[in-house]
Structure 1
């Protein structure tokens, strides 16, 4: 129940609309008792159809159009039976503002003209003393409300786009930072191996030469120096190997940063512990594939969760992505999936698209792991 209220009544744009509806409802006491059942049925129908939009998935455009038609009919019915109440046309202000979030300007203007023409005729035949003035006044209110709804919608979309861009930058920065750290580790490993290792080897050779001298062969200090030099050389080789083994890009952090700003779908990520990517190009490809999958799941399948599974299979890196949404129609590659395939092909990988047992799209990608692209 709390979730239902949060998705409908407690939406920021819905609260002013419901307050307006309440004001109109209070004004209906001036209407005749004979028309009260029709008026209240129309009012309840308007409120129900208005709130029902927030429960519909975005892909159901025909259902949305039907709800808007029901809103329009119920609002005009209230205006017809309460043509002298004065506040009834305020429902049309709510209606036009609501339509602004769903229709482009040209369509909205045409609908607004038709609705206001209907309002004018209702007021004219209802005996209103100034039908044209009232229609123009409420048309001004509608324009103001539509502009506010339009800019609020644009601001919300811009905020969402900026959040996604920021997440993309954070994910890319995480990969770049890991790549820079790996480069620094590799440089330090090489320096230790080439400089310290070389000098220690030279020291051990000199100590071995000293130990060969008859008068120094039994000296404890020479034997101890040989032992310490050998141990130190072994320690340095161990540190060099550890620095090389510690290399690897933190792909999990980058992927979670990419999915963080999206309210849905949520990301369920599984990565094998033995996967250590050191190739930034391959990591970037995996990042973009997951990014496109998240976008498709949110836009087309309206999924709640996306599962990403990355595993190593011998010399192959395998990635599987599937969501809990519902893919509509046959599987076709649009611009997004075509770009995903191009990225995977450029990395030497393969891509397969299919449906899982729930009817959602499943993406299977594999990448070769070779010396030029280690994991």
Structure 2
């Protein structure tokens, strides 16, 4: 909720408030010159009411958890109200409301769609000014206002493009972090196995040879009662037993700890904010399981940021009933049935390939919950 309230003071929103106030200064200080669309007795209070309603619709789009389609509907209502005000009264500042609306549209439409919307809105304004304002230069009036709309649209579009590029860079950075963590863990695992083999094959072999030579020396009548020889044989036995214990411990480690990898994976995302709850005994046994967990979390973070517009995401890694469970949920603002895209399908296939599974659900508030499970391997 605090994030949505903070959206109120974003620079582009503040600029919209200033423009709305500037329009209001003309409306509140001077009686309107009517066009005959609305009766003179109701004209001024109607214009003031419509002007206030535009602000309320704008604030609803900023504060409410709306989908893109719902935001489009709100903005089209703003456009229709602005056109009604233009058709009803000859205020020169009212067309600025269309600049605000078109700047919002630039965040929701693709370039070709946005160009069509731009043409339709300005065609409607041109026809209104020509028919009801009885202006001698409607085309010049249109070009002035359309140029400001175009400037606002381009500014807004470039801001959205920069934000999307930043999100793509964050996702790529997260992917690199996950890959680096996997490579580091794989290198540590390989090094541990290499050292265990070296200790077993080299040191163990030489200690065994030393024991055999000491045994032969102890059976020599000249050294049978020699205390240093007996002590060396005992120490060789103990050292070989200790070495075998170390080798066994190196091979039977307690699994890979994913805490640092998951923390690093979530850190680059400015939104959603990740809340991690990782059990100490929830460790995976091999690289394949570690990669499945990291890629699942990475895909969930990307989807929550890109599609769900989530502010928070909760990631719980636990060990229960012989399984490693990964519970991920966000507070996104989606609606309708979930569409399983390539990312979620690939996530499920990756988990199933190593004996796990994945359930995907939409929460009552619109967020997405992922329930992944992996078998505990020896």
Match for residue 96 of structure 1 among 102, 108, 115? 102
Instruction: Give the alignment of 1:16-31 within 5 angstroms.
Output: 16-28=15-27, 31=30
Deviations along 1:291-332, whole A, 9 cap, x unmatched? 334445553595743343342544x54444455668855666
2:362 and 2:369 in contact (8 A); partners too:
yes
Shift of 1:359: 8.9
Instruction: Give the alignment of 1:1-375 within 5 angstroms.
Output: 3-8=3-8, 10-28=9-27, 31-32=30-31, 36-59=44-67, 61=69, 63-80=70-87, 83=90, 85-124=91-130, 125-246=132-253, 248-297=255-304, 299=307, 302=310, 304-311=312-319, 313-314=321-322, 316-323=323-330, 328-329=335-336, 333-352=340-359, 363-369=370-376, 374-375=377-378
1:175 and 1:250 in contact (8 A); partners too:
no
Shift of 1:190: 1.0
Change (3 A) 1:2 1:135: same
Distance of 2:137 and 2:375 partners within structure 1: 77
Deviations along 1:109-136, whole A, 9 cap, x unmatched? 3332232233234433224453221111
**TM-score, length of structure 1 as denominator length:** 0.83
Give the unaligned 5+ runs of structure 1.
none
Change (3 A) 1:97 1:364: closer
Change (3 A) 1:240 1:265: same
Distance of 2:188 and 2:140 partners within structure 1: 71
| SS state at 1:102 partner | coil
Distance of 1:231 and 1:307 partners within structure 2: 47
Change (3 A) 1:169 1:351: same
Shift of 1:269: 4.3
The more displaced of 292-301 and 118-127 is 292-301
Cα RMSD of the aligned pairs, angstroms, is: 3.3
Distance of 2:245 and 2:28 partners within structure 1: 88
Change (3 A) 1:333 1:97: closer
